[in-house]
Amino acid sequence: MLPAIANPRRIRPSDPSRSTIFLPFRHSPPINLIFVGGFVSGTARKLYPNLPPLSGSPSPNPVTRLVASHPRIFALTIRVLLVEDAPVVLLVLKRMLANADGIDVIGTASNGKEALDLIPRLNPDVICTDLHMPEMDGWALTREVMQRFPRPILVLSASVQASDTENVLRVLDAGAVDVLAKPVGGVTADREILERELLEKIRILSGVVVFSRHGSPVRTRSASSSASTPLTDPTRHPPSSPTLLTRTAPNPSNTAGRPATNSPQIRSISPSTVSPELTRKTPAIPISQRPPSRILAIGASTGGPQALSTILAALPANFPIPILCTQHISQGFLGGLVRWLNADCAVTVQIAQAGERAQNGHVYFAPETAHLTIDRSGILRCLRGDLRDGHCPSVTALFESVAQSFGQRATGVLLTGMGRDGAAGLLAMAHQGAMTIAQDESSCVVFGMPKEAIALEAAQHILPLHQIAATVMQQVSATA
């Protein structure tokens, strides 16, 4: 299956035997895929080996056949609703988006109440909202939207800087998918940077799946739907908060002094609903026959904070082995994430310090700018070095270290995220006999890293998020 295309745009046939389609993928410039005589070129196949076959009868124009075969992938535009009380800021934002191909500002509102009135009629794919507004602020709007019309929400505010951890966690707790800080000097201060980040985030959010209480995915509008399509089903229970992106923190369980939200109930994926390559896994040794794991390693990127919260909150304080985590996260947010997880979890969560020995029942996060590794004696190392799989810290660096130091006496878990970081590392763990788990497509915010691991046949278990902690606990209990 092709990855979701956030901004499909120009489709230009040339001659009857040769056509070019421009596919601007999320983190790459436009890529020209050449179709000759109805067949995808070898270059395209190498870039996207899972490109599905064209369905239907032969057509003189293979591009037309591709688009007709996959209408969801080739949605024409991303429909955006802007919610901002400052007229000057609203004007600047509209101009930024007006220059972008494949993005359409379908409406504006000056506060949350106006936005709630517009959403059923306009059916936006993505909502961009300010935080501080009269009558109904961005936090209250987010909670209402996620209860009534679940949509991906981006909070765009000067009050969600890296130092504003409480504000960030509060809006994410309400259900926002991501945040973007306005420049301290105003939206015109660093306009080019803000515009680039805003467009990138909108395109990412347009492909996010929001899960309802019972696990029914609520996707953004497809090419075949209309603006008048109902957003809610009166027979459906109110939806829960959505999943999150990397520079943010997850939807927590209720604790004192914090608002309660509904945790997503993710359904188990059915093999009949996905292509075979997404369910393929390596043969798993029965848990009862495994040697005891001495270490648990977890890697995550986009959507990882919420997934980590779900797993770590399910573990007891006396969890009998150490846990090492690498989470891709924006500079300045890791400390707030660790403090927030500590408030919700029985295990102790901290940022790893070089030279300390990993303790049972403790969770060690890789520092923001260093690879986290561990030696055979359990001593942690924080290595500042080159990027691995495009990242520092790298999940692959962690997994390879665990594979080398602990071999089959380890468990590796690869969670939601973009890209391929961790896939090769999970394969290294599998080759050493470790227990390996990949999060399944149904419960991922972005099915990138786990999908790559599954394609490498590195995952012995492909599990929905809510089953991962129980599976780990089962092995720990059976082998402790």
Per residue in 135-192, pLDDT (tens digit) is 999 999 998 998 898 888 999 998 888 777 778 877 877 778 888 888 877 766 678 8
Same domain, 210 and 97: yes
Nearest to 223 by CA among 445, 13, 11, 443: 11
Range of the domain at 202: 78-218
- Give the end of a domain, one of 43, 69, 95: 69
Residue 43 CB partners (closer than 8 Å, separation 6+): 33, 34
Provide the pLDDT for residue 282: 61
Q: Looking at residue 108, which CATH number applies to its domain?
A: 3.40.50.2300
Provide the pLDDT for residue 281: 57
Query: d(Cα 124, Cα 432) in Å, to the nearest integer?
Result: 48
Cis peptide before 316 (omega within 30 of 0): no
Provide the pLDDT for residue 224: 31
Nearest to 300 by CA among 181, 413, 425, 163: 413
Provide the pLDDT for residue 210: 58
Query: d(Cα 371, Cα 422) in Å, to the nearest integer?
Result: 12
Q: Is 233 a residue of the active site?
A: no
Same domain, 177 and 63: no
Same domain, 40 and 152: no
Same domain, 160 and 123: yes
- Confirm whether 241 is domain-assigned: no
Q: Mapped to the 3 state alphabet, what secondary structure does 424-463 carry?
A: HHHHHHHHCCCEEEEECHHHCCCECHHHHHHHCCCCCEEE
Instruction: Name the active-site residue from 159, 301, 309, 401.
Output: 301
Instruction: Give the residue ranges of the chain where pLDDT is below 70.
Output: 1-76, 187-189, 209-284, 478-480
Residue 33's alpha-carbon distances to 13, 49, 59, 371, 376, in angstroms, are 12, 13, 18, 36, 47
Same domain, 306 and 443: yes
Q: Is 421 a residue of the active site?
A: yes
Instruction: Name the active-site residue from 421, 440, 461, 466.
Output: 421
**Number of structural domains in the chain:** 3
Q: Is 15 a residue of the active site?
A: no
Same domain, 305 and 203: no
Provide the pLDDT for residue 193: 86
- Confirm whether 344 is domain-assigned: yes
Same domain, 320 and 204: no
Residue 103's CB: how many other CB atoms inside 10 A? 23
Instruction: Name the active-site residue from 212, 263, 328, 466.
Output: 328
